[in-house]
């Protein structure tokens, strides 16, 4: 049997991007890691008494306070003289990070704790039934931003959480995707080797909430990156240090794979607005692969 | 006196989620495999394992039949077959 | 050694003697001086502790939850709105059986906003599973903090403890306190050894989801542990007495109750005022007494029964009210006697001191005079001119 630090037998949906990412993150960080987890899908499907998928010390308290609980863990380790060689990770979903958990996260980042915060971004409150969060993309169909005769879904774009993290002046911010596994694990390993607060946001497809087949998890995540809708980049000490360059595909390629965007397929005007978001990302993060220079 | 409080690490292993499968399961052909390990990495259950080329297989007692491994294999060496069929 | 100092400073010195490894708090009047004093101790190198300045009370409680879960003794303090903001974490800490110690500098609850003393804040969280101890004066405040860690960290308890002290009255009152020495504190309070903790050398999962098949037993276990605390706390005060020379019952204090005809029941600093009036009335030949409740949770029903069963007239003084129903302490005192053959003839309820309205010796005299054969339910020292039918 594999010696992963996140064991099978958890009750995530088949094809769940978050369960995949959770295992990749903890394996990259290693056994000398303590995890504080917010309430959400990951916490519920991995620790239903009396079963836990975690092979590292792990604690869950409430929906919004993993950052603060982790701050306490880190402070305790420093007091004990045991912080060196032990990674502390605080993690949660998009809702627990960008909405209800934003205050605690901001406080943790501002105080400069040596903690890696990981946001598993499946773009809605999935655990409670696919409700709209601050990281739900523009025009997404969720249960609290549903489509109807008077609505084309969520009316707001994603809250720029990586930028908010970067604005706190922390040493490392990165986005990642389950479609690019070695890149994800490299970023986690890099983050835990840096002292100070770090923020990594991982795009994790949710077959149930996004309405796609469970086998397409990697495919869908890849298209998000390749259209420019989910840019992969790293900020080191506030400066953009790397990005995954792409030959941009039109956003339709991504939107047509998921039921939550189905209503857009015969609405070119709305798709143009989404294309503008992608184009904005491509420009801002310098994502476009440069054309070959002629000799 | 204590009630339910602390959970043993890794105790989820006793929950055999393979019982969830109703439609499809992966068949590892072990024919054209190049040992890239993508199937091991991508499995959300972490139940695909192997050592060198053509040794990769999954633990059916945990496999939920999502099909991610079959789709990601660059050599199409994993097929999704009907649950009732023999691997 | 005897010191003449502000209550907040006394708390800080008591906490310093307990050597917490992590302190985290958010400022709120009237708790502020406690935490400022502790910050100064840390800044001067007099206390080796990680001092975490958080962005809200919710996070303050979460930080000490995390640090206690990592096996390090921790401390926080708050009042009123702060206690309510951290309320879900407070329930969480008890449910997770983590022996945090918190000082609650009792203060009234908004709205309207009011920074002065009453006990609505801690009394409103009586269901959370925390042990709640109420101090009469700053000596008791100091002593209760030492006992709090000793009690909460006991392997047969593993519960958080809230030491409640009346805001401004005790926090900002300057009294003489016999401050223990570090040697005495070390003798009485051993280092914290967690039964379960976050440790990479022995990984475990804390804070799981407990579905209907598992939840209710966690509550029952805490309930049974509180019953155990009723027998353990007097044993701990006996140990305390041996080391520090001061004697406490631990659960209640009977002041001239033995042959009393009228007794007032109360918690906190008002007990000092009531004792003064008791002495004054006793000098005039009136048979009156005070029953002071120290341990509100666990509720010492048996001790209260024994103390009051032969007392004809009892008045319960609440510095809190359950709006729409009875004053909390009075309801619990009455519940002690339901179905009992021996009980007071009358148990009256007095709500007083809300929002910091002074409870003077005159107020107490009035309460004693209201203890007649007729059961009363009164707000003391109310100003009728402020009550109208219109809102203007």
pLDDT along chain C (392 residues), means of 10: 97 98 98 98 98 98 98 98 98 98 98 98 98 98 98 98 98 98 98 98 98 98 98 98 97 98 98 98 98 98 98 98 98 98 98 98 98 97 97 89
Say whether C208 and A47 touch across the interface (CB within 8 A).
yes
Residues of B in contact with C225 (CB under 8 A): 1
Say whether A213 and B12 touch across the interface (CB within 8 A).
no
Tens digit of pLDDT for each residue in A232-249? Answer: 999 999 999 999 999 999
Mutation pick from C205, C206, C207, C219 vs chain B, by most beta carbons of B within 10 Å, is C205
Q: Minimal CA–CA distance to C8: which of C75, C105, C73, C123? A: C105
Cα separation, A110 vs A169, whole angstroms:
8
Residue B52, Cα to own-chain centre: how many angstroms?
17
Structural tokens at position A116: 């890696």
> Quick check: A1 contacting B, CB < 8 Å?
yes
For A237, A270, C223, the CA distances from A171, given in Å and listed in that order, are: 4, 37, 47
- Is the pLDDT at A295 greater than 60, yes or no? no
Inter-residue long-range contacts of C191-197, CB under 8 Å, 24+ positions, other chains counted:
C191/C73, C192/C71, C192/C72, C192/C73, C192/C99, C192/C149, C192/C153, C193/C71, C193/C153, C194/C68, C194/C69, C194/C71, C195/C155, C195/C158, C196/B5, C196/B6, C197/A57, C197/C69, C197/C70, C197/C71
Would you tell me how many other CB atoms lie within 10 Å of the CB of residue C157? 22
Q: Strand A87-93 relative to strand A33-37: parallel, antiparallel, unpaired?
A: parallel
Mean pLDDT of chain A: 97
> CB within 8 A of C387, min separation 6: which ones?
none
Structural tokens at position C111: 């709205």
Q: Tell me if C121 sits within 8 A of C321, measured CB to CB.
A: no
Would you tell me how many other CB atoms lie within 10 Å of the CB of residue C4? 8
| pLDDT for residue C65 | 98
Say whether C204 and B9 touch across the interface (CB within 8 A).
yes
Would you tell me how many other CB atoms lie within 10 Å of the CB of residue C258? 11
> Quick check: A61 contacting B, CB < 8 Å?
no
Q: Tell me if A136 sits within 8 A of A123, measured CB to CB.
A: yes
> Quick check: C92 contacting B, CB < 8 Å?
no
Q: Tell me if C153 sits within 8 A of C188, measured CB to CB.
A: no
| pLDDT for residue C249 | 94
Say whether B10 and A52 touch across the interface (CB within 8 A).
yes
Q: Strand A33-37 relative to strand A58-60: parallel, antiparallel, unpaired?
A: parallel
What integer is the mean pLDDT of B8-15? 97
Q: Strand B78-82 relative to strand B24-28: parallel, antiparallel, unpaired?
A: antiparallel
Tens digit of pLDDT for each residue in B52-69? Answer: 999 999 999 999 999 999
> Quick check: B3 contacting A, CB < 8 Å?
no
Structural tokens at position A143: 């249960």
Q: Minimal CA–CA distance to A189: which of A37, A111, A66, A87? A: A87
Whether the predicted model's global pTM rises above the 0.90 cut: yes
Would you tell me how many other CB atoms lie within 10 Å of the CB of residue C316? 26
User: Between chain B and chain C, how many beta carbons pairs sit less than 8 Å apart?
Assistant: 39
3-state secondary structure (DSSP) of residue C361: helix
Rg of chain B on CA atoms, in Å: 15
- Is the pLDDT at A33 greater than 90, yes or no? yes
Q: Tell me if A258 sits within 8 A of A266, measured CB to CB.
A: no
Chain A: partners with 3+ C-beta pairs within 8 Å: B, C
Q: Using pLDDT thresholds of 50, 70 and 90, give the confidence band for residue A290.
A: confident
| pLDDT for residue A291 | 67
| pLDDT for residue A1 | 78
Say whether A217 and B12 touch across the interface (CB within 8 A).
no
> Quick check: B10 contacting A, CB < 8 Å?
yes
């Amino acid at each position: 049997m594999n010696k992963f630090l996140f064991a099978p037998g958890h009750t995530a949906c088949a094809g769940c991007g978050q369960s995949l990412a959770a295992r990749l993150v903890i394996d990259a960080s290693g056994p000398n890691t303590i995890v504080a987890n917010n309430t959400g899908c990951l916490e519920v499907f991995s620790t239903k008494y009396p079963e836990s998928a975690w092979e590292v010390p792990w604690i869950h308290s409430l929906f919004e306070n993993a950052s603060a609980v982790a701050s306490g863990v880190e402070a305790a380790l420093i007091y004990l003289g045991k912080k060196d060689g032990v990674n502390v990770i605080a993690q949660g979903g998009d809702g627990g990070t960008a909405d209800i958990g934003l205050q605690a996260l901001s406080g943790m980042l501002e105080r400069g704790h040596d903690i890696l915060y990981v946001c598993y971004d499946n773009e809605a409150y999935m655990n409670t039934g696919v409700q709209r969060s601050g990281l739900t993309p523009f025009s997404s169909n969720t249960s609290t931003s549903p489509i109807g005769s008077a609505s084309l879904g969520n009316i707001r774009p994603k809250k720029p959480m990586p930028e908010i993290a970067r604005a706190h002046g922390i040493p490392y911010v990165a986005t990642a995707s389950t479609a690019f596994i070695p890149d994800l694990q490299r970023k986690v390993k890099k983050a835990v080797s840096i002292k100070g607060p770090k923020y990594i946001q991982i795009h994790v497809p949710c077959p149930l909430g996004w309405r796609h087949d469970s086998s397409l998890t990697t495919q869908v995540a890849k298209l998000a990156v390749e259209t420019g809708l989910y840019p992969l980049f790293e900020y080191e000490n506030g400066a953009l240090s790397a990005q995954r360059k792409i030959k941009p595909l039109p956003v339709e390629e991504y939107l047509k794979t998921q039921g939550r965007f189905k209503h857009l397929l015969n609405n070119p005007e709305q798709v143009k607005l989404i294309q503008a978001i992608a184009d904005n990302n491509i420009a801002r993060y310098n994502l476009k692969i440069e054309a070959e220079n002629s000799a | 006196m204590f009630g339910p409080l602390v959970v043993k690490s890794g105790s989820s292993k006793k929950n055999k989620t393979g019982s969830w499968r109703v439609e499809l399961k992966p068949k590892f052909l072990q024919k054209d495999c190049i040992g890239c390990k993508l199937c091991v990495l991508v499995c959300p259950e972490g139940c695909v394992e192997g050592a060198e080329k053509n040794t990769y297989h999954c633990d059916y007692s945990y496999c939920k039949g999502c099909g991610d491994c079959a789709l990601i294999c660059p050599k199409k060496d994993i097929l999704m077959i009907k649950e009732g069929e023999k691997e | 050694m005897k010191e003449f100092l502000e209550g907040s400073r006394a708390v800080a010195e008591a906490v310093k003697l307990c050597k917490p490894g992590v302190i985290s708090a958010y400022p709120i009047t009237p708790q502020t001086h406690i935490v400022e004093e502790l910050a100064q101790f840390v800044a001067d190198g007099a206390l080796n502790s990680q001092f975490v300045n958080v962005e809200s009370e919710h996070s303050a409680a979460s930080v000490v939850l995390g640090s206690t879960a990592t096996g390090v003794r921790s401390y926080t303090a708050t009042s009123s709105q702060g206690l309510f903001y951290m309320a879900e974490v407070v329930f969480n800490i008890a449910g997770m059986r983590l022996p945090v110690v918190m000082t609650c500098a009792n203060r009234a609850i908004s709205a309207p906003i009011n920074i002065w003393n009453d006990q609505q804040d801690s009394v409103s969280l009586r269901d959370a599973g925390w042990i709640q101890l109420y101090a009469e004066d700053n000596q008791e405040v100091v002593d209760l903090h030492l006992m709090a860690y000793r009690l909460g960290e006991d392997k047969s308890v593993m519960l958080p403890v809230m030491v409640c002290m009346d805001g401004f009255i005790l926090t900002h009152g300057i009294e003489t306190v016999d401050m223990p020495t570090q040697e005495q504190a070390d003798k009485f309070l051993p280092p914290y050894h967690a039964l379960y903790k976050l440790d990479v050398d022995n990984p475990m999962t804390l804070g799981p989801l407990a579905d209907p098949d598992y939840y209710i037993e966690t509550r029952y276990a805490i309930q049974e542990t509180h019953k155990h605390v009723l027998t353990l706390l007097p044993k701990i005060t006996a140990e305390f007495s041996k080391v520090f020379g001061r004697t406490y019952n631990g659960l209640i204090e009977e002041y001239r109750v033995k042959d009393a005809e009228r007794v007032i029941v109360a918690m906190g600093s008002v007990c000092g005022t009531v004792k003064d009036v008791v002495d004054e009335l006793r000098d005039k030949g009136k048979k009156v007494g005070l029953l002071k409740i120290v341990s509100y949770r666990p509720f010492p029903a048996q001790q209260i029964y024994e103390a009051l069963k032969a007392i004809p007239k009892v008045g319960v003084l609440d510095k809190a009210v359950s709006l729409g129903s009875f004053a909390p302490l009075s309801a619990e005192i009455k519940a002690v006697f339901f179905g009992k053959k021996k009980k007071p003839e009358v148990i009256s309820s007095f709500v007083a001191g809300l929002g910091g309205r002074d409870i003077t010796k005159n107020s107490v005299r009035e309460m004693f005079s209201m203890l007649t054969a007729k059961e009363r339910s009164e707000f003391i020292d109310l100003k009728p001119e402020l009550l109208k039918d219109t809102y203007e």
